[in-house]
Amino acid sequence: MKVAVDATPLSVPTGGITRYTAELVKALQDNHPQATFTLLSQPNSNWIMRRWWSCGLPLALLRQGFDLFHGTDFAVPYLPVKPSVMTLHDLSPFLPDSPPGLSRRVRRRAPVLIGLGLASMIITPTEAIRRQALDSFRLHPGRVAAIHLAAPDHFRPLDVPPPSPPYFLFLGTLEPRKNLQTIIDAWRQVRAAHQVDLVLAGRRRVDFPPLPNEPGLLLLGAVPEHDLPQLYSGATAVLFPSLYEGFGLPVLEAMQCGAPVIASRDPAVLEVSGTAALTLPATDTSLWVQAMAALIDNRAMRQELRAAGLRRAAAFSWRDTARQTMEVYEEARRRFDA
C-alpha cells in the first residue's frame, strides 16, 4: 500500500496534532515496512497546486500512484479520486466559543467533507470523541474508529534532583478551554501555606489573556520535546484541568514519566487516565486546593499515583496505534471500492 499523509500539521513546531502526525508516520514506517508512507504538503508552484485541496492534491494522488490519503488535521481532498481517512481529533472547532482563524475553516469545511462521504473512514483518538462524532454528524458506526494515541518511547522517569522550590506543572496550549484560571486560583491558596511554584509550559494562543507577573508563577512558553521528560519527572504533580479534550496527551506523557496527575473529569481524559489519576470536577477550585495540598504533604500518595500512572501508560503504544490505523486504511479501501 502506498499512503500519502498530510504534512500540514508539521509546519507548526509544537502541539498535539503536530506530534500525532510525526509519531504516527514514524510508527507506521517502523512497523509496516511492506507499505510506504509519504508526507505531502502544498507546493508553491502554479495556480492548480495553490488550489491544493480541490485540485492540486487530487492530481498529486493520481500522478504519484497513491492508494490512499490520510488527513491528520480534519481535512481530506475535495475530489474523491482515492480512498481517504480523516482524523477528527475532537469537536472543539464546533463549540460555541471556538477560536477564530483555523477553527473557523475547520468548522466550515469538515462537516461538508464528512457529510458528503469524502472521508471514507474517520479516526477519533478516544471512544468519547467517537460517540460525539456519531451523534453530531449522524454517522454509521462502522465508518468511525477510535484509536488511542501514545506517549513517545523517550518519555520515561528521569532521576532529577528535587527542585527547590517544588512545582506543579501544566503543559499544553494556553487557551480558554484549558481552564487554567482554576488551577492558578487553587495554587495561590496552596502557596499561602506551602512554598511551591506553578509552571505553565506551552505556547499562548491569541485568545488567551496575558497573565500578570507574580512570584512563583512561571511561564515557560513552548518547550522543546526533548526537555519535557525532565520537566515532567521533577514535578510534584501535573495538573490538567481542561474543560474539553479529544485525548489529553500530556496526561499520558506525565504518567509515563512517573509524575502524579490531577486531572478534570472530562470524558476523554477519564478514558485515558483510567483510575491512575486524581480526577476532579474541572471548576471546583476548593477540591483542587485540597488535592494539591494533599500531594505536597503525602509522599505515599505521590508514590501510589506514580506507580499507577506507570502501569496505565504501559497499556498505550504507538505500535498498537499504527496497527489499528493500518486496519482502518484497509477498511477505507474496501468501502471506496464497494
156 domain residue, yes or no: no
User: Is pLDDT at 24 greater than 90 in this prediction?
Assistant: yes
Quick one: 261 and 182 in the same domain? yes
Q: How does residue 46 score in pLDDT terms, banded at 50, 70 and 90?
A: low
Please tell me the predicted confidence (pLDDT) of residue 49: 56
**Can you give the pLDDT at residue 32?**
97
Is 332 in the same domain as 302?
A: no
* Cα dihedral across residues 311, 317, 320, 324: positive or negative: positive
User: Which residues have CB under 8 Å from 161's CB, separation 6+?
Assistant: none
C-alpha cell at 42: 502544498
Which pLDDT score is estimated for 100?
Answer: 59
Q: Helix axis angle, 299-313 relative to 285-297, nearest 10°? A: 100
Proportion of the chain above pLDDT 90, given as a percent: 80
| 142 and 72 belong to one structural domain | yes
Q: What is the pLDDT of residues 116-175, one digit of tens each?
A: 899 999 999 999 999 999 999 999 999 999 999 999 999 999 999 999 999 999 999 999
103 in the same domain as 31 = yes
Q: 217-233: buried (b, 16+ CB within 10 Å) or exposed (e) per residue? A: beeeeebebeebbebbb
What is the mean predicted confidence (pLDDT) over 258-267?
Answer: 98
> What integer pLDDT is reported at residue 323 of this predicted model?
98
211 falls within a domain: yes
Please determine, for residue 92, whether its predicted confidence score (pLDDT) is greater than 90. no
The per-residue pLDDT of the chain, averaged, comes to: 93
Task: Provide the pLDDT for residue 161.
Answer: 92
pLDDT at 292 > cutoff 70? yes
- Which pLDDT score is estimated for 15? 75
- Total domains in the fold of the chain: 2
Which pLDDT belongs to residue 111? 87
Question: Residue 112: which pLDDT band, with cuts at 50, 70 and 90?
Answer: confident
**pLDDT score, position 11:** 81
**Distance (Å, whole) CA 315 – CA 308:** 11
Residues 16 and 137 in one domain: yes
Q: What is the pLDDT of residue 212?
A: 86
Banded pLDDT at 43 (limits 50, 70, 90): confident
Strand order in the sheet with 84-87: 36-40, 2-6, 68-71, 84-87, 121-124, 144-146
Residue 161 lies in a domain: no
177 and 139 belong to one structural domain: no
- What would the mean pLDDT of 74-86 be, rounded to a whole number? 95
pLDDT for 98 equals: 67
Tell whether the model's pLDDT for residue 286 goes beyond 60.
yes
Task: Judge whether residue 333 has pLDDT over 70.
Answer: yes
Residue 98 forms part of a structural domain: yes
CATH of the domain at 278: 3.40.50.2000
**Residues 271, 134: one domain?**
no
Whether the model pTM is above 0.85 = yes
Domain assignment of residue 155, yes or no: no
Residue 284's pLDDT band, with cuts at 50, 70 and 90, is very high
Burial of residue 40, with CB atoms counted within 10 A of its CB: 0-12 exposed, 13-18 middle, 19 or more buried:
buried
Q: Which residue has the cell 506551602?
A: 194
Q: Which three cell numbers stand for residue 136?
A: 453530531
Q: Domain limits at 114?
A: 2-150+317-337
264 within some domain:
yes
Confidence of residue 110 (pLDDT cuts 50, 70, 90): confident
* Domain contains 162: no
Task: Give the mean model confidence (pLDDT) for residues 12-36.
Answer: 91
Answer yes or no: do 333 and 236 share one domain: no
- Does residue 97 share a domain with residue 226? no
Tens-place pLDDT, residues 168-223: 999 999 999 999 999 999 999 999 999 999 999 998 888 888 898 999 999 999 99
pLDDT category of residue 47 using cuts at 50, 70 and 90 = low
Distance, CA of 74 to CA of 12 (rounded, Å): 15
Same domain, 178 and 300: yes
Q: In the structure, what pLDDT confidence band is assigned to residue 51 with cuts at 50, 70 and 90?
A: confident
Kindly give the pairing relationship between strand 167-171 and strand 2-6.
unpaired
Same domain? For 289 and 321 the reply is: no
How much is the average pLDDT of 65-70? Answer: 98
Establish how many alpha carbons lie within 13 A of residue 306's alpha carbon, considering only the half-sphere containing its beta carbon: 19
Q: Which of 102-106, 206-210, 290-294, 334-338 has the lowest mean pLDDT?
A: 102-106
Residues 127 and 249 in one domain: no
